[in-house]
Structure formats: C-alpha cells, structure tokens
Structure 1
C-alpha cells in the first residue's frame, strides 16, 4: 500500500500528492531547513564583504523570518483565489529569486531585501506543504508530517556542515545552488492536486455544541505552539552559554548543542511510526511531560548535556502532531493552521531576546528552570485540550485497521 493510497481524495479521485510530489516535498523541506541554517555560519563572510557589525549581520535572519511570517499570511489569504500549484510554484520562485539576489547583492540593503524575499517563499512552502500533508493522509497525517518536518532537520544539519566544508566565503554558491534546486522542484507540481477536498459537513447539533469552544481551542493550540517554539529556540540559543557557565568547555558545549538539534530530527522520524499507534493527545502530553522532566534534569551540571538531548527528542513531535489534530478539532476554521504556524514564527523571533532580558536580571544558571516553567504550562494546556478537544478522527482503533487492511490488501 503506497503512502498516497489513504490520502484525502478531491473530486476526480486523485490523491492530493503523488509519490513524486511527496518526495519533492521532502526535498523542499531539506532545502528550507538548510537555507534557514546557513545565515549564522555565513556571518563572518557577510561582515567582511559589507563591512558590518555582527548585530547588523544578524538582521539577515530577522528579515528572513519577517518575510516568512508574511508569506504564511499571504498564502492563506490567496488560497481561495489561486490553486495549490500556483501558490507553491510562486513560493518556489520567490525563494529562488531571493537566493540569487542575496548571493550577488552589491549592497547590504539589497542583500536584506533578498533574505526577505527568501522568507516570503519559505513561509509559503512551510505553510502550504504542512497543510497539504495535514489534510491529505487521513489518520496517517501525523506520521507523514513528522517525516516531512524530519527532513527540515536534515537540511538544518546539512547547511552548517556545507559551510564548514567549503568555508563561509562559499555562501553565494550555496544560496545559488539552493535557488536552482527550488526551480527544479517546480517540475513536480503536476503531482499536487489543484484543490483540497471540501471538509466533511458538520451537523447543526455538533456545530452549536462545539462553536462556543472553537476560539478557546484555537487559542490553546496557539499557546502550545508559541511556548514549545520558545523552549526550542531558548535551548538552542542558550544551551552553550549555560553549559559553559556550569564548567563545560566551548567545544563540548557546541557539540552538545549540535546534538540537541540532531535529537529533534531523530525524534520526528521516531515519532512517525509511533503516531500510527498512539493518539495525538497522548503524544502531546508525553512530549510536554518529557520536556519538563529533562529540563529539570538539566539543572544538574553532570546531566545537563544529556538532558538537553532528551529535550530535543521530546520537542520534536509537537509541531507535526498538533497540526492535523487542530484541523480535525476545528474543521470549519480554515485559517486555524495559518494562525498556529504564524504564531510559531513569532515565538521564534520574539522569545530569545525576551529570555535574554530576563537572564540579564538573573543568572544564566536559571535558564533550564525558566524553560521548565514554560514546559509545565504546555503540559497544563495539553491536559485542557485532551479534555475539550478529543481526537476521535485520529488514530483508528484495531477494528478499523483490520477493516482498512482487508480492503486495501491485494
């Protein structure tokens, strides 16, 4: 049975994504993961080329995320007017154009404009593909989203590795290469359905009963997305500083931080088969409890590097697990996915400096405790969702699996 055999079928009986389109989508996520991770290692070369300070060079990532946030919102607003192929195609083109502008810009202002355009395409690809995978695979949506986002992690590891291999001065060639790959992916868009199937009609009784809870449910999902991204970026940004403060060397701290990001990639690939047996509410609750437990262990210096690796494993499934659950919990609110993805980007931009401001008034040793408190709040929100937004449309029971297997068996 192929991955597309259980995808939602729009009018005409074709799947939302063919096998070729699924492979291309995974390649696209490797690409956007690599692009996002290339900015930091390229900073030394950017400073030399444009004569700018580290803080100014860091604006490249800020411009990228600003563009990505706008890209998510534009993609969502245009969904009713343009089809998936046009929107994804436009996103790939924007990313390719932005990459070339950034690589060959004669001025820093134009280079920042290039990163903003890259971000526009990045946001459209991130939102568009996450949405298609969330609605396109039935109860396998969570597994497929974990696989898709796992490939983002592969790119995030590969980008800095390429800079390390070829040197920071090679960043123009790497960005141009990413742009070329983005253009090549365009030829696979024929395997993407133009439109998604209309959501199943909701009975009047169900609508009246659940309507009052729609906004709180979306709000709690947004809270979980903001908080878990805050923890993710908080660990990624402050783990090296914390480890050095408790006695580890710079090299050990850097290696442990790389292991943390690798753990997030590993965790998503591991979560894919698990999500076929465990419900989304259970995975979320275990992830939140696990995050809190490992962050508490990170307060013990001898355990801290290993504890942060555990935090990465626990964070990994949250983003791809909650998105299909959200779509099933509020099927009549098409904008819900855009809200939470945009919220996750805001959390990634806004929280690191906020955490830094808090640490300025305290000690860096308090980092794991501060993040532990956020994880506890995440756990409380997950319990609320478990009670108020059950997920009967997620993982099917044993009888349903047996029935599906008997129908699809050759």
Structure 2
C-alpha cells in the first residue's frame, strides 16, 4: 500500500482536494442564494435557478464524458471548475452568473467521472477504500464551507473567488499525475456491459439521499420539530454521513461492495421505520450514516460488473442523476395530503423494498462483481 501511495500520490491528492472543493462549492449555494437574490433583485425562488443550473451543468459534464471520456484528464475537469467559479465570483450580471453555475456544474460532473474510476483502478484491492476516502472528503468540504462563508462576512463573490483560486492550485498539482494514470483512464480491459437492473439500485439510492438532504428538514418540521431543531438535525445527518464514509475507508476492501449497499439500505429502512413510529429527529440523523454508504457500495459494484470502458462511469453517474433530480419532485408530490409522517412512510417503504430485492440478489451480484 505504501508503494501505491508513493506512485499515485499526485492523483490521490488531486482527487481528495477536488472532492472537498466540490462539496464546498455545492454547499455554498444555500447560504449564498439570499445574497445573490438581493444583488440581482430576484426572489429567492428565482435565485434558486442557480442550483438547478449546477445540476444541469453536472448532467452535461457526465454526457460529455460518455462520448469524449477517453480524452479528458483531471486537469480538464479542474480547468472547467476554475472558469465556472470565476464567472460566478465576478458578479457581472445575473445571466453570466447563471452561465457560470452551469459551467461549474460541468466541472463537477466531469470530476466525478474522472477521479472515481482512476482511483479505483490505481489502488487495486484497496481501490474501494480510496474511493470511500474521496467521497468522505466531499462531506468535509460540505460541512466546512458554510462556516467559512460566515467567517468571510457572507460575501458570495469572495467565496467563489476562493473556490476558483483553490481549483487553480489543484490544477497545478494534477499536472504531475503520471502518464500511466492517464492511460488507465483511456484503455479498457473489460468491455462495456449495460446493466439496467443494476443501475436501478443507483437511481433509488441517490434519489433517497437527495430526498433526505433536500426534503428531510421540512419533513421534520411537518412532524412537529422546530426550524432550529431541523437545521441541527441536518448538521447531525452530515456528521453521521462523514463518520460512515470515513469508517468505510478502513473496511471497504474487506467487504463485498454490494453487501455494503444492501446493508446500508437495510439500516436506512430500519431508521425510517423508527422515524414513523417514534420521535423522528434521532432516526433522521442516524440515516445519514447509512446514506453515506449508498454511493460507494453502488459505484464499486457497478464498476466491476459493467467493465472499465470509459463509458461505464458516466452511465453509473447518470443513473444517480436521474434519481437525484427526479426523486425530490416526485416525493414532494406524493407526500401532499399525507399525514405528518408521510415523508418517512414513503422513505421506509422504498428503502425496505429495495433492501429486500438487494438481499435476494446479493449472492449473484457479488459473484458477478468478483468475476
């Protein structure tokens, strides 16, 4: 392991720093929206298009990687993030800011596709653990950025300027990644195998994660919690999320990846049932730990089953985007007219059904992933 760390140190550093920056950039949108709304004379709802633009850009970046992924390197991904965040920081107008958000989102999507498979392959048997480390660092950035935003006087232009500068520094470091790592991103030893059924597990898990983060606090308030309690519960959710992904760094290479996914879905289902029957706040926070295991378990499983063709990772990420974009809208519509625990009832039903299917297929999927 020590020799692998020395050989691929630049790749790992660039990946860790990039994922932390991605988490920071995404989490800045929440506290920055009111400031942008005031500056450009918009309602908060109108300013919310900045978030939509981020995800639209991310989808475009993933689509680009599907068709041109063989020719894209970490430096390309970071360069796009530099341009997008710099445009947002410039404050030259609403439409340029919106365009900057799309461009930053493209860098976000490209980075996800570039770093996850490279790190997974570069570190061999320890690859799943290193992928977990990357995604744990995303949570670190997401937790730290809002605090830094307040510390600099809640200035969104300064915050995104800092993102641009940090991305530029990482860009310099990413230039030292070895040629063998670049070739690893271009040469496939296993053919592209599309698995629609397996991808459905990604749609569900990312959809559940997006709903818990985006709609969970509102659901807690509906269930009787105060706004302050709901906000603290979301922070607790992210802390549990980070702890789980950090712990996974030390065990991911020892446990079959689909077993991690299935176990996480079982845990989430039990917590959701607890939130239906008992005070929901502690169970919501505990769900953060299981949500933190969803993506690493799914990504490693799908990567091993579907091959290492450059089109595989964009397909996997696209499945997650389908769930992340559509699920909050669908769930928000479904909970209308339900009782105060309607959100948790739906989450409980969805995660329980997914857990049962995953457990039924566990041996077969693990065998295919290992083969």
How high is the TM-score relative to the length of structure 1? 0.84
Count of residues in correspondence between the two structures = 367
Select the residue among 190, 196, 209 that pairs with 1:219.
196
User: Once the two structures are superposed, what CA deviation does each residue of 1:316-347 show, in whole Å capped at 9, x if it has no partner?
Assistant: 12212222222222226542321121121232
Distance in 2 separating the partners of 1:324 and 1:124: 18
Q: Structure 1 pair 64/3, CA: closer, same or farther in 2 (3 Å)?
A: farther
Task: Report the 3-state secondary structure (helix = DSSP H, G, I; strand = E; otherwise coil) of the residue aligned with 2:277.
Answer: coil
Select the residue among 279, 285, 297 that pairs with 2:256.
279
Q: Structure 1 pair 174/136, CA: closer, same or farther in 2 (3 Å)?
A: same
Q: Is the 8 A contact 2:256 2:366 kept in 1?
A: no
Select the residue among 1, 12, 19 that pairs with 2:9.
19
Q: Structure 1 pair 75/201, CA: closer, same or farther in 2 (3 Å)?
A: closer
- Tell me the equivalent position of 2:156: 171
- Tell me the equivalent position of 1:148: 134
Distance in 2 separating the partners of 1:388 and 1:133: 26
Task: Report the 3-state secondary structure (helix = DSSP H, G, I; strand = E; otherwise coil) of the residue aligned with 1:142.
Answer: helix
Are 1:183 and 2:171 counterparts? no
Distance in 1 separating the partners of 2:216 and 2:249: 27
Q: Structure 1 pair 345/3, CA: closer, same or farther in 2 (3 Å)?
A: farther
Distance in 2 separating the partners of 1:285 and 1:66: 30
Distance in 2 separating the partners of 1:66 and 1:111: 14
Q: Structure 1 pair 201/250, CA: closer, same or farther in 2 (3 Å)?
A: closer
User: Larger deviation: 380-389 or 172-181?
Assistant: 380-389
- Tell me the equivalent position of 2:226: 249
Distance in 1 separating the partners of 2:189 and 2:84: 39
Are 1:122 and 2:108 counterparts? yes
Q: CA deviation at 1:88?
A: 2.0
Matches within 5 A, 1:5-404: 18-80=8-70, 82=71, 84=72, 87-168=73-154, 170-189=155-174, 190-192=176-178, 193-196=181-184, 198-200=187-189, 214-215=193-194, 218-302=195-279, 304-331=280-307, 334-391=310-367
Distance in 1 separating the partners of 2:201 and 2:59: 18
User: Once the two structures are superposed, what CA deviation does each residue of 1:223-244 show, in whole Å capped at 9, x if it has no partner?
Assistant: 1111111111211122222222
Q: CA deviation at 1:281?
A: 2.5
User: Once the two structures are superposed, what CA deviation does each residue of 1:323-377 show, in whole Å capped at 9, x if it has no partner?
Assistant: 2222222226542321121121232222212211112232342111101122123
Distance in 2 separating the partners of 1:3 and 1:313: 31
Task: Report the 3-state secondary structure (helix = DSSP H, G, I; strand = E; otherwise coil) of the residue aligned with 2:307.
Answer: coil
How high is the TM-score relative to the length of structure 2? 0.92
Unaligned stretches of 5+ residues in structure 2: none
User: Larger deviation: 122-131 or 384-393?
Assistant: 384-393
